[in-house]
Amino acid sequence: MKSIVKRLLGGVAALALCAAAHAADPYPQKPITLIVPWAAGGSTDILARVLSEHLTRSLGQPVIVDNKPGASGNIGSAMVARAKPDGYTLLVGSMSTHAMNPALMSNMPFRGVEDFTPLGLLAYVTNTMVVHPSVPAQNLKELITYAKANPGKLAYASAGPGSTNT
Instruction: Provide the 10 A C-beta neighbour count for residue 54.
Output: 17
SS (H, E, C) 29-89: CCCEEEEECCCCCCHHHHHHHHHHHHHHHHHCCCEEEEECCCHHHHHHHHHHHHCCCCCCE
Residues whose CB is less than 8 angstroms from the CB of residue 83 and which lie 6 or more positions away in sequence, other chains included: 89
Query: What is the pLDDT at residue 100?
Result: 86
Query: What is the pLDDT at residue 101?
Result: 87
Cα distances (Å, whole numbers) of residue 111 to 32, 57, 101: 23, 32, 10
Query: What is the pLDDT at residue 18?
Result: 55
52, 88 contact by CB (below 8 A)? no
Which range (63-77, 86-100, 113-127) has the least confidence? 113-127
Express each pLDDT in 127-165 by its tens digit.
778 899 999 999 999 999 999 999 999 988 776 666 665
* Residue type present at position 68: K
Does the domain at 2-104 match CATH 2.40.50.140? Answer given as: no
**DSSP symbol at 161:** T
105, 75 contact by CB (below 8 A)? no
Which range (48-52, 80-84, 87-91, 117-121) has the least confidence? 117-121
| Residue with more model confidence, 44 or 127 | 44
Query: What is the pLDDT at residue 166?
Result: 37
83, 52 contact by CB (below 8 A)? no
Domain ranges of the chain: 2-104, 128-166
Instruction: Provide the 10 A C-beta neighbour count for residue 120.
Output: 14
Evaluate if residue 71 carries a pLDDT over 80.
Answer: yes
Whether the model clears a pTM of 0.95, i.e. scores above it, the answer is no
Region 118-123: what's the mean pLDDT?
Answer: 90
Cα distances (Å, whole numbers) of residue 128 to 33, 119, 150, 165, 166: 30, 27, 23, 8, 12
Report residue 29: phi and psi, to 5°.
-105, -5
